[in-house]
A and B are shown apart, each in its own frame.
Chain A
């Protein structure tokens, strides 16, 4: 391992997604052989997620006037117009904040048309179109799993296979090939015990050939993206935060071990 032995600090930084992509891959590989540690890391990530979720709405609460700096002015000294303008500005700011909605997202700093940020948008769009389709969400069903994997492998010119996600309660429904600006992408759909759908989206990457696992959110859909060895992945769903994370870890291990 090039970066030296994996330390506890490395593991903490891995939980927080703060390692360089190279080191992150090394730690991910290290964890493949240490299920106990991997389980601990998964639990830590679930904690962070639960904490963020529990406190997320605080940042979206309307700002009380007492906490709004723009509403402060010393009498007579301010060139700014009356309170109404301030309130309008506050409302505008709230809209901006609400739109940015993902205080927890790194999308803001990522280029919007390339890399895993773009992949996240494609995956979200596909999730919204196909996961909600009750008539024909998939082109090939799970009973043709092998044919589906071969189809994706052919079109993406990479060995692609659907990971077994039953340990986290997700059953494969099937999949379909979808079109992107960057060529074809594979979309697998899974369902949990309540029938809620989870999408695994995969396509080759030209830019972020290796990228850390990043949490994404938009349009009410959320999940994780990452890239290893030129292949980009996204796992997306609705409410199942913990399931999604565990599924993402499991898929990543599935491909790293392949």
Chain B
């Protein structure tokens, strides 16, 4: 029996209190979205969110009362996601990202937008996990830079430089200039 299953079994017996529900329930759609952006696969992402909810329930009493519940929850999600992706990486080399079946993609896009949406998800999948998560947290989830720093457990300055590198790399990839793994040089702006 895997540790996850044990944990889940334990959680079933715990009853989330109303404060927890009022705080966390509204975050669930965003948690699913972030998980989907990281993992791409719908069932994997939702499975991850379920684990996050179990952990949120079991650790609810440990959170700082004045801290941002959103950052705290996203941090749990982020750490669990990184664990899973590491496990996945050691289990097997991932299949090519662009072979993801259409129904796994988030958006039922219009004919015209289809290429672009498929593209952007494939492109961010090619970013490093560090760059992908910072971009998703800031650009999609609208976390403040300070909240993103808390989620990723890095200084705000590092958030900014990762964000800048992620955007530049994505820009180059979409312009077809960068398909390898090396990160672009940061431009100096005067």
Contacts and interface: CB of A to CB of B under 8 A. Distances in A.
Interface of A: 5-9, 11-13, 15-16, 18, 37, 40, 43-44, 47-48, 50-61, 63-64, 66-70, 72-74, 77-78, 93, 97, 103-104, 239
A55 B107 contact: yes
Interface residues on B, range: 35 or more
B112 interface: yes
Nearest to B116: A50
Given A58-B33, A69-B53, A47 B139 contact: yes
B97 interface: no
Given A16-B138, A53-B113, A54-B121, A63 B28 contact: yes
Nearest to B14: A74
A57 B108 contact: yes
Contacts, number: 127
B117 A54 contact: yes
B190 A5 contact: yes
B99 interface: no
B106 A44 contact: no
A48 B142 CA distance: 10
A104 B7 CA distance: 34
B167 A15 contact: yes
A24 to B, nearest CB: 15
Contacts of B163: 12
Chain B facing A: main interface SS: helix
Given A59-B32, A97-B29, A48 B117 contact: no
B120 interface: yes
18 contacts: A8-B189, A12-B160, A12-B164, A44-B171, A47-B139, A51-B37, A52-B139, A53-B107, A53-B117, A54-B109, A57-B106, A58-B29, A59-B33, A60-B29, A63-B29, A68-B28, A74-B14, A239-B110
A61 B15 contact: no
A73 B13 CA distance: 8
Contact of A103 (B14, B29, B138, B171): B29
A9 B175 CA distance: 23
Interface string B119-158: 1110010000000000110111010110000000000000
| Highest count of chain B CB atoms <10 Å: which of A44, A50, A55 | A55
B81 interface: no
A81 to B, nearest CB: 15
Given A44-B171, A50-B120, A67-B49, A55 B14 contact: no
A58 B32 contact: yes
B122 to A, nearest CB: 10
A255 B142 CA distance: 28
Nearest to B117: A54
A54 B104 CA distance: 12
B160 A8 contact: yes
A156 B160 CA distance: 41
A52 B140 contact: yes
Given A6-B189, A15-B167, A37-B189, A61 B160 contact: no
